[in-house]
Amino acid sequence: MSIQLESTATPLVAMRGISKAYPGCLANDAVDLTLHEGQIHALLGENGAGKSTLVKILYGLLQADAGSIEWQGKPVQINSPAQARKLGIALVFQHFSLFDSLSVLENIALGMAVPANRKLESKIIEVSTRYGLPLDPDRQVYTLSVGERQRIEIVRCLLQSPKLLIMDEPTSVLTPQEVDDLFVTLRRLRDEGVAILYISHKLNEIKSLCSEATILRGGQRVATAVPDEESTQSLAALMMGDEIVVPTREARQPGDTVMLQLKAVSYATSEQHGVPLNDINLSLRAGEIVGIAGVAGNGQDEFMQVISGEVRLSDGNGLRLHGVPAGTISPSERRKLGLCCVPEERLGHAAVPGMSLADNAFLTAHHRSGLISGGMLSTGKTRRFTEQVINQFNVQCNGTASLAASLSGGNLQKFIVGREIEQQPSVFVVSQPTWGVDAGAAAAIHKSLQAMANAGTAVLVVSQDLDELMLISDRIAALCAGRLSDVYATHSVSIQDLGLLMGGAVIDSSNAGVSDLAGGLDSGTSTSDSAGAGDASA
């Protein structure tokens, strides 16, 4: 108790009245944030609420227009990340900055601007074992999983013995087991007196990990709450401003028509660090949602490219759309057949960052939505289509001329998903639909996926977010090292089972012997025992 009182007297960091304006928006409006040693503090808010801006100001990447920062009771001016690091502030970014072809040791040395020598190596091993973050300093980064890559970033921070560790959405890329491991590490750091600022929108995590939470909405601090004393609903309500309606599981009766069929698809990638696909079989029927779980880097990119047509198969029959062989045709021709895809990477893949929303709508919708007339682009039709997407999917932007890069992640994702849905596909394939997206936008996207399936579209969702897949999918499978597991009725598998499938294990021997997985294994109604027993390609 006395410690508590002391720390209350001199907080480690006190940000007072921080304001920051961008052209056209006030990202932070007189925000206060106080952090104490030995405390895990959550920074909670929707995308665009001002979390990143606040953190960037604290880390010296941005300068506040107004307000002050006190470090251990003394006013400081943080002009650069180097200065922040000198004070003892470390930041683990959501997107890692690692060189794939260098070793762990070299990456850490580069990040800290020190030579990659034995001394550093032994320090890495010491820190990584002490905090339960096993790392082999000599491994090349491209051979590591996303979770292991995150460990590099964390170890890199810990080597500087920080007093304050900032974690930006750290669990969005981890398996359930990895999340547990991370929490053990974070709690140990907290017990050693490190202050942790934990940025997330996953309310369950915040409730289990954080002792205090600052909630931002529209650039303002709306509350400072004790997560333990709040319910998930009340936290969400604070964050969103009103009660959000989280979609619930729906039981669906899928149709009998197979809309998308993959038959013994193998694909050897030419990418340097790619994962070859091996004998993939899958049948997707009208009116169902099938989820594909798996840790990133297990062939998801290749799987998506094979389906979208960005890479072609040698045999057209390997992939059929409504029974039509489509393995060798281009993405635009597949779109004409009713297949719309949303790749994982929003900027640079699903959308062109430097182009307007109207141009980005035209990018994929020009054919299906008839945005070309007389061989020329129709700007009027394109604008109307874009406005329709913006309105239907509640995209926050400054109109159809806004650049894609100027939208927040969640808004851009809503726009991209909306753009494909508005083309009324008969087969819809989406990768990581809610990656880095706030709760409100995620709920909206989930609801539209469910609505599509109810309307008879065949929906395939590739995701690392198991909660998401358990919530929306009717059937589920996992991708591991380029192989696709059997497909199970979602209600018949537990999260633990799924974790095993993601690791490449086979669950329940009665399902394992089935070699031909094409076709429905169940119709959404069968029990767990019969899941995986069917075979015939429907």
Partner 1 sequence: MISLEPRAEPSKLMGYAAPVIALVVTLLAGLVLFALLKVPVGEAFYAFFIDPISSVYGLSELGVKAAPLIMIAVALSIGYRANVWNIGAEGQLILGGICGGAVALYFYEVEGWFVLPLMIFAGILGGMLWAAIPALLKTRFNANEILTSLMLTYIAALLLSMLVHGPLRDPDGFNFPESRLFHAAATLPIILEGTRLHIGALVALLLVVVGWVLLSRTLLGFALKVNGQAPRAGLYAGFTQNRLIWFSLLFCGAAAGCAGLFEVAGPIGQLLPTISPGYGFTAIIVAFLGRLHPVGIVFAGLVMALSYLGGESAQISLNLPVAVTGVFQGMLLFFLLAADVLINYRVVWRSKAVKA
Footprint on this chain of partner 1 (rule: CB under 8 A) = 22-23, 64-66, 68, 75, 77, 308-310, 330-335, 341, 343, 345, 347-355, 359, 362-364, 366, 372, 375-377, 403, 406
Q: Which is nearer to partner 1, 326 or 478 (CB)?
A: 326
Q: Please state the separation of Cα 458 from the chain's center in Å.
A: 22
Residue 429: CB minimum distance to partner 1, A: 12
Distance (Å, whole) CA 90 – CA 86:
9
Residue 49: CB minimum distance to partner 1, A: 17
Residue matched to tokens 């309500």: 237
Residue 515: CB minimum distance to partner 1, A: 33
CB 173 within 8 Å of CB 145: no
Beta strand residue intervals within 123-225, DSSP E: 164-168, 195-200, 212-217, 220-225
Half-sphere exposure of residue 115: CA atoms within 13 angstroms, side-chain side: 3
Token pair of 123 as six digits: 């320090």
Q: Which is nearer to partner 1, 335 or 414 (CB)?
A: 335
CB 17 within 8 Å of CB 50: no
Q: Which is nearer to partner 1, 13 or 186 (CB)?
A: 13
Residue 79: CB minimum distance to partner 1, A: 10
Residue 455: CB minimum distance to partner 1, A: 25
Q: Which is nearer to partner 1, 68 or 204 (CB)?
A: 68
CB 418 within 8 Å of CB 430: no
Exposure string of 158-177, with b = 16+ CB inside 10 Å and e = fewer, is bbeebbbbbbbbbbbbbbee
- DSSP label of 392: H
Residue 100: CB minimum distance to partner 1, A: 17
Q: Which is nearer to partner 1, 210 or 407 (CB)?
A: 407
Half-sphere exposure of residue 49: CA atoms within 13 angstroms, side-chain side: 26
Q: Which is nearer to partner 1, 115 or 375 (CB)?
A: 375
Q: Which is nearer to partner 1, 266 or 406 (CB)?
A: 406
CB 15 within 8 Å of CB 32: yes
Residue 227: CB minimum distance to partner 1, A: 33
Residue 302: CB minimum distance to partner 1, A: 14
Considering only CA atoms, which of 214, 162, 205 is closest in space to residue 182? 205
Left if phi > 0, otherwise alpha if psi is -120 to 50, otherwise beta: which for 147?
alpha
Considering only CA atoms, which of 462, 100, 482 is closest in space to residue 268? 482
Q: Which is nearer to partner 1, 61 or 240 (CB)?
A: 61
CB 141 within 8 Å of CB 99: yes
Q: Which is nearer to partner 1, 37 or 422 (CB)?
A: 422
Residue 348: CB minimum distance to partner 1, A: 5
